[in-house]
Amino acid sequence: DTGVSQNPRHKITKRGQNVTFRCDPISEHNRLYWYRQTLGQGPEFLTYFQNEAQLEKSRLLSDRFSAERPKGSFSTLEIQRTEQGDSAMYLCASSLSRDYTFGSGTRLTVV
């Protein structure tokens, strides 16, 4: 386990469909974050887990978005009833203390 793994790398979906992304953090990292990044912008915070507890959620995370980290290891991010505005790169990061290690992201395109 050399880094943060995200699957799939790319996802194209039709508007209105549900999608789910997976993140496998670095195994000893207890903190896990989801960020969203659109072209030309910095990553925007979505949600944060410490172990299995979801401790913080951004107001960006509408009720169509839900994230889980059931056993404090991998995490999933689900988007229901996708909209074109959801098209973005979804980045997962994990950390043990100070700095993030980001995964390669899942690029979502809603058509």
By CB under 8 A, is residue 96 in contact with another protein?
A: no
C-beta atoms surrounding 91 within 10 Å: 22
Interaction mask 16-55, another protein, x per CB under 8 A: -----------------x-x----xxxxxx--x-x----x
The β-bridge relationship of strands 10-13 and 106-110 is: parallel
Ranges within 58-77 binding another protein (CB under 8 A): none
CB of 21 to another protein, least distance (A): 14
Candidates 72, 110, 111; CA nearest to 90 is: 110
Q: In Å, how far from its chain's centre is CA 14? A: 19
Given the rule CB under 8 A, which residues bind another protein? Answer: 33, 35, 40-45, 48, 50, 55-56, 91, 98-105
